[in-house]
Amino acid sequence: MYSDNDTSDNSVAKDRLERQERMQAEAWRYDASLEEALRLKADHPGEYRQLAPGTKMAVGYYVAGKAAARKLGMDTSGGPR
């Protein structure tokens, strides 16, 4: 059912995902306003739901980038460097 190419295809896909995650981590920068939006999401979800859709999208990308940076051992504790 599986061919020799399946292993190669999986390896290529894994490499692509790792490269994408590394680029996302390297691009991540601490952002106080997005950190505040995250606190709002945790502490006041009703108010968070009232934020503009673009802001909530930015929060999602920010969280993903921060997670990728943390996974690669980068400092995500915050503040300008």
Q: Which residue has the higher pLDDT, 1 or 56?
A: 56
As to burial, measured by CB atoms within 10 angstroms (0-12 exposed, 13-18 middle, 19+ buried), residue 30 is: middle
Task: List the alpha helices (DSSP H) in 1-81.
Answer: 4-27, 32-43, 45-49, 53-71
| Global confidence as pTM | 0.79
Q: Per-residue pLDDT for 55 more than 80? A: yes
pLDDT over 70 (residue 80)? no
pLDDT value at residue 78:
76
- Tell me: the pLDDT tens digits for 4-53? 566 778 899 999 999 999 999 999 999 999 999 999 999 999 999 999 99
Taking phi over 0 as left and psi of -120 to 50 as alpha, with beta for the rest, 31 belongs to: beta
Locate 51 and state its tokens: 């934020």
Which of 53-56's residues contact partners 24+ apart within 8 Å by CB, and which partners?
none
Contacts of 44 (CB under 8 A, 6+ apart): none
